[in-house]
Amino acid sequence: MRLQLYLTADQAVPFDHLPTLKGAFHRWAGHDDDLHDGLSLYSLSWLRGGRGSRGGLWFRDGAYWSISAHDPQLIHSLVGGVIREPDLGLGLRVRDAQLLASPAFQEGEQWFRVLSPVFVKWETEPGKPADHLTYEDPRTDELLTATLRHKLRQAGLDDTGAVVRFDRAYAGAKTKLFAYKKVQCRASMCPVIVTGTAEQIRFAWCVGVGNSTGLGCGALE
């Protein structure tokens, strides 16, 4: 299930605003140790509809933000939180909200645009900073697949045959450098192709692909 939020913004939003979005999500969801510290079986998109300037991002016609989750109860909890506290911070406020059911996917291959860059980490040695791999690296397909299968198992679903890969034939693919709490990260703005059962594809649409979906990466359109 997906919660589509329509926001007003009365000031420029800093580029490094992802922690504010994550903070709003957790306030709305309420206290839940598993949700805060566990594996993210949900995905947050980036804000859409803005234009960048030296002062940050301007959303003169409002912003769009998508939150998706495998568990419909989480989405319903978020709706209650939004009603209680529509202000996110940084001048952002929820103007309207819409609940969207998962599309009726078919078994096989499904092509997805991304609503936020896909972040893939490769840990070479324990204790050392992970490498950030982009769509140009063929190792990413194996890592994307492993992450989705791990989440499927954590959700109690069958992971057999589920595969994720970047669509490297897409002419508009590019990498994106973004900051999260001053840490610079390199990710990919590139469509992905998810192969699996209808249930597995629906799950990917809900939870996103790659690493850090709970921080705003890898959300699928």
Domains of the chain, CATH where assigned: 2-100 (3.30.70.1890), 108-215 (3.30.70.1900)
Interacting residues of 104 by C-beta distance below 8 A, sequence separation 6+:
198
At position 31, the amino acid (one-letter code) is: H
- The Cβ-side half-sphere exposure at 19, using a 13 Å CA radius, reads 7
Ranges in the chain, pLDDT < 70 = 32-37
Strands 108-112 and 192-196: antiparallel
Partners of 131 in the β-ladder: 122
Closest CA to 213 of 22, 71, 26: 22
At residue 102, the 3 state secondary structure works out as coil
Segment (H or E) for 188:
strand 183-189
**In the block, which residue shows the tokens 């926001």?**
7
Euclidean distance between CA atoms 211 and 163, whole angstroms: 15
The predicted structure's pLDDT at residue 164:
98
The predicted structure's pLDDT at residue 93:
97
Residues in the chain: 221
Give the pair of three-digit tokens for residue 177: 């450098």
Give the pair of three-digit tokens for residue 98: 């819409």
> Using one digit for the tens of pLDDT, what is the confidence trace for 23-75?
999 999 987 666 656 789 999 999 999 998 888 999 999 999 999 999 999 99
Predicted TM-score of the model (pTM): 0.93
- The Cβ-side half-sphere exposure at 219, using a 13 Å CA radius, reads 23
Q: Is 26 exposed, middle or buried (0-12, 13-18, 19+ CB in 10 A)?
A: middle
